[in-house]
Amino acid sequence: MRIALFVTCFNDALFPGTGRALVRILEDLGHQVTFPPDQTCCGQIHFNTGYRTEACRLLLRFLKVFEDAEVLVAPSASCVAMVREQYPELARDTGDGGLMSGVEAVASRTFELSEFLVGKLGVEDVGASFEGRVVLHPTCHSVRGIDVADAPERLLRAVKRLELAELPNALECCGFGGTFSVKNPDTSLAMLSDKIRDIQDSGADVVTAVDNSCLMHIAGGLRRMGLLGEDAGGIRTMHLAEILVSREGSLS
Amino acid sequence: MSRWKRPGAQPSGRPGSKHPSKQPLPTFPSSAPEALSDKQLRENLRHATRAIRAKRAEVVKEVSDWDELTLAARAIKEEALRGLDHYLSDLERAVVRSGGKVHWARDSAEANRIIGDLVGATGTAEVVKVKSITTDEIGLNDALAAKGISAVETDLAELIIQLASEGSSHFLVPAIHKNRTQIRDIFREHLGRPELTDEPEALAEAARVHLREKFLAAEVAISGANFAAADTGTVGVVESEGNGRMCLTLPRVLITLMGIEKVLPSFRDLETFLQLLPRSATGERMNPYTSLWTGVHPGDGPDEFHLVLLDNGRTEVLADPVGRQALHCIRCSACLNICPVYGRVGGHAYHATYPGPIGSILTPQLLGPGVHDSLPFASTLCGACWEVCPVRIEIPRVLLHLRGRAVEGSAGLGQVSGGSGGSGRSTRYGPTQERLIMRLLGLTFRSSNLYRWGLLLARKFLKRRTKDGWVVQLPGYGGGWTTGRDFPGLAEKTFREWWAERGKEDASPIGDQKGGPE
């Protein structure tokens, strides 16, 4: 299959390793990966903060960049949710029928990595092997936004040597919420500190998720508390894709 | 602590309304820190919301057709709102036919005047009240007090906060922010019972003794309404303590204040809602008391029944095709109990009669733009509220809709796309720096070249602030992040830079960059 990578601006600039891992996973499965170079941002940050006009401009741009793509895969549930859940809403607001059908077409071809692997390709074991006690933070957009169900967990269970820990209060938000984290920092931090306590209680040394935004939030909090790191007692954050490209416990 | 005081009537902020007071209320972010720093409050909230949440989940699981019930409830509410005009007329006719009187109130002031006059006509100086959020919305107790009439709350939790001169922090459990030791202290001080212990039985007994006298002496009772059936004129209140039943049956005059959105097309619809409400609200299969009454009956219950139908901004909410679903709410409070924001901050920081997720979409709409614009932003959009809502209100969708309205006004996006969806948007809400950043980001994202340049600049800007790969202090708008979190520095090499280099090294189809359009 020819797969267009929708890497997302966030991963492009802050977590390029996740994009690289995604390329490796899909290529190893025998697929052809393309990267439409004109892609920038889907407009989620604007839309979620109320700047709909700007979000709509970025929507138009996104459609142009990806209109020929057979299938789009992204390492971010929240950006996929933007395309699948919010674009139709925005398009409706324009009253432009052509745009609405354009959005429907692209939205139906856009997938988050874990749901794509498990749901579309029927793959659970990608041949990964990872040394560590890992806990999955099921991000809100992956669970309640696009509903990836247990795809991330299935993929993790198939990783050799990986020990999957149980996260207490797993379904509770980590407090990120995009610009919520800067507009309501106190509440956001109260939520984060509870999430970090739950992660500690899980006994894991790696937290993983299908959204680097939430992981960045958790890592930022861990680091401020002096808990981030590979030393004994330290906790690391890793996108699911980066675990899935691991071989024998070392990131290749 | 002034913040904890009962807020009184909320301002009517609708443009063109009779009271166009556009006074903005304190914002959520400015009010949250005080609540968050109150350890006792955090602990009380955590304990209470988690307990109710677990109970709810348990009893909802038992109902095999729960999803169908919620769909039915949504459909009924949609129908009720679609035909609101004739359902309300039907309701009025049915109530009058069975001996009741119906009054129409455009806003808080009218409702307060109507109820004040009705109570005044009886000459009584004290009324008993069934817990009613709608009477909080209009600030009825204060309005009555101004006429020399004292309103006694008879719901245990309402009584607690009334004695403590505080406002409610939860629809259903107004004193959810208090533990029993705090309640004992309030009763010791205000009920003249210095010997009281904090045993729940002792506290309930003290309230019971205090209230029993009030019930027996009361001439007038005031209630809210959970539902009213348009076809029969039957009004209903569900409750747990029996205080409602006392109020609804003992006094000679009963006055019920009801928001117009509470009307149901038919008595049969109760079947759906009486299954959904108790399980969603208190996690009970059935609430202990369900009182239904139709007009008046000689020798049974009150001699006089007045139904006051309140608009107070509701018809304008109805005009918004996305936002109107907030009017489906049956006040079960499941969304409050599940919300991670409410669960940590509590209700007071919302400065609203309706707190929590539903309050964040209902309050700004009822008050109109410019009064409480920070509320739709008081959410991480985690969607937990939407998942538990028994009438399927798409709370995250409405939050996003209202954020757009707050920032850009309510016009459509036709100009952007060339479609027909309206025009003319002016920025309203949002800090100047945020607007600037969003503008700059938007500009940068419009071209991949500008985007690359923007990244270079951002990298330069952050590099000076980055140590060991992390930024510990961001300036301005980003400072909110670094109050308690570090921020990762930008990558040395972006994904697209890596991809471009890889394409040069690797001529295989895997490195093919011609996948996308120009």
pLDDT in tens, B360-382: 999 999 999 888 999 999 999 99
Q: What is the pLDDT of residues A197-251, one digit of tens each?
A: 999 999 999 999 999 999 999 999 999 999 999 887 899 999 999 999 999 654 4
- Region A41-68: mean pLDDT is 96
pLDDT value at residue B416: 73
**Element spanning A219, H or E:** helix A212-224
- Region A41-54: mean pLDDT is 96
Question: Over 70: is that where the pLDDT of B507 sits?
Answer: no
Asked whether the beta carbons of residue A140 and residue B380 sit closer than 8 angstroms, the reply is: yes
Find, in chain A, the residue whose alpha carbon is nearest to that of B455.
Answer: A13
Q: What is the pLDDT of residues B283-309, one digit of tens each?
A: 999 999 999 999 999 999 999 999 999
Q: What is the pLDDT of residues B50-106, one digit of tens each?
A: 999 999 999 999 999 999 999 999 999 999 999 999 999 999 999 999 999 999 999
* Residues near A44 by beta carbon (within 8 Å), at least 6 away in sequence: A55, A78, A79, A82, A86, A178
pLDDT value at residue B17: 41
- Whether B161 and B168 have beta carbons less than 8 Å apart is answered as yes
pLDDT value at residue B379: 98
Q: How far apart are CA A10 and CA B451, in angstroms?
A: 12
* Residues near A173 by beta carbon (within 8 Å), at least 6 away in sequence: A140, A191, B340, B380, B382, B384
> What is the number of CB-based contacts under 8 A between chain A and chain B?
275
Question: Over 60: is that where the pLDDT of B488 sits?
Answer: yes
Question: Over 70: is that where the pLDDT of A188 sits?
Answer: yes
Question: What are the chain B neighbours of A209 within 8 Å (beta carbons)?
Answer: none
* CA angle centred on B137, ends B136 and B143, rounded to 5°: 65
The torsion angles phi and psi of B220, rounded to 5 degrees, stand at: -130, 135
pLDDT value at residue B513: 36
- Chain B, 10 to 49: residues with Cβ < 8 Å from chain A are 28-29, 32-33, 36, 42
Question: What are the chain A neighbours of B477 within 8 Å (beta carbons)?
Answer: 182
CA distance B292 to chain A (A): 37
- CB contact B455 to A (< 8 Å): yes
- Whether A42 and A109 have beta carbons less than 8 Å apart is answered as no
* Residues near A74 by beta carbon (within 8 Å), at least 6 away in sequence: A5, A6, A7, A8, A80, A110, A111, A112, A113
Q: How far is CA A58 from the centre of its chain?
A: 20
Closest C-alpha to B323, from B370, B390, B407, B393: B393
pLDDT value at residue A233: 82
- Region B330-354: mean pLDDT is 96
Choose between B479 and B428: higher pLDDT: B479
Asked whether the beta carbons of residue A96 and residue B414 sit closer than 8 angstroms, the reply is: yes
Lowest mean pLDDT among A45-59, B112-126, B470-484, B497-511: B497-511
Asked whether the beta carbons of residue B387 and residue A144 sit closer than 8 angstroms, the reply is: yes
Q: What is the pLDDT of residues B173-218, one digit of tens each?
A: 888 888 899 999 999 999 989 999 999 999 999 999 999 999 999 9
Question: What are the chain B neighbours of A8 within 8 Å (beta carbons)?
Answer: none
Question: Over 60: is that where the pLDDT of B515 sits?
Answer: no
Closest C-alpha to B5, from B158, B140, B168: B168
Asked whether the beta carbons of residue B384 and residue A172 sit closer than 8 angstroms, the reply is: yes
Q: How far apart are CA A47 and CA A183, in angstroms?
A: 15
Question: What are the chain B neighbours of A51 within 8 Å (beta carbons)?
Answer: 404, 407-408, 430, 438, 442
pTM of the predicted model as reported, rounded to 2 decimal places: 0.93
Asked whether the beta carbons of residue A95 and residue B479 sit closer than 8 angstroms, the reply is: no
Kindly calculate the radius of gyration of chain A based on its CA atoms and give it in whole angstroms.
Answer: 18
Count, residues in chain B: 518
pLDDT value at residue B412: 65
CA distance B16 to chain A (A): 25
- CB contact B389 to A (< 8 Å): no
- Among B16-20, B159-163, B328-332, which range has the highest average pLDDT? B328-332
- Chain B, 481 to 500: residues with Cβ < 8 Å from chain A are 481, 483-488, 490-491, 493-500
- CB contact A186 to B (< 8 Å): yes
Lowest mean pLDDT among A133-147, A164-178, B418-432: B418-432
CA distance B407 to chain A (A): 6
Among A36, A99, A140, the residue with its CB nearest the CB of B515 is A36
pLDDT interval class at B511 (50, 70, 90): very low
pLDDT value at residue B409: 84
What Cα–Cα distance (Å) separates residue B300 from each residue in B212, B242, B250? 20, 17, 9
- Region B430-451: mean pLDDT is 91
pLDDT value at residue B419: 58
Among A49, A140, A221, the residue with its CB nearest the CB of B485 is A221
Look at the alpha carbons of B25, B28, B31, B35 in this order and tell me if their dihedral is positive or negative.
positive
Structure tokens at B356: 């929590």
pLDDT interval class at B23 (50, 70, 90): confident
pLDDT value at residue A249: 52
Closest C-alpha to B307, from B103, B10, B32: B103
- CB contact B504 to A (< 8 Å): no
Asked whether the beta carbons of residue A184 and residue B434 sit closer than 8 angstroms, the reply is: no
pLDDT value at residue B398: 97
CA distance B329 to chain A (A): 21
Structure tokens at B460: 């330069």
Q: How far apart are CA A238 and CA A212, in angstroms?
A: 8
Q: How far apart are CA B77 and CA B265, in angstroms?
A: 9
pLDDT value at residue B428: 63
Among B438, B497, B509, the residue with its CB nearest the CB of A51 is B438
pLDDT value at residue B518: 29
- Region A149-163: mean pLDDT is 97
- Of all residues in chain A, what percent carry a pLDDT higher than 90? 96
Question: Over 50: is that where the pLDDT of B4 sits?
Answer: no
Question: What are the chain A neighbours of B422 within 8 Å (beta carbons)?
Answer: 95
- Chain A, 4 to 23: residues with Cβ < 8 Å from chain B are 4, 7, 9, 11-17, 19-20, 23
- Region B331-352: mean pLDDT is 96
Closest C-alpha to A213, from A55, A59, A9: A9
- Chain B, 301 to 360: residues with Cβ < 8 Å from chain A are 340-341, 344-345
Q: How many CA atoms lie within 13 A of B300 on its CB side?
A: 7
Tokens 């040395």 found at: B492
Type of residue at A192: L
Hey, what's the torsion of the CAs at B476, B482, B484, B490, to 10 degrees?
Answer: 160
Q: What is the mean pLDDT of chain B?
A: 90
pLDDT interval class at B6 (50, 70, 90): very low
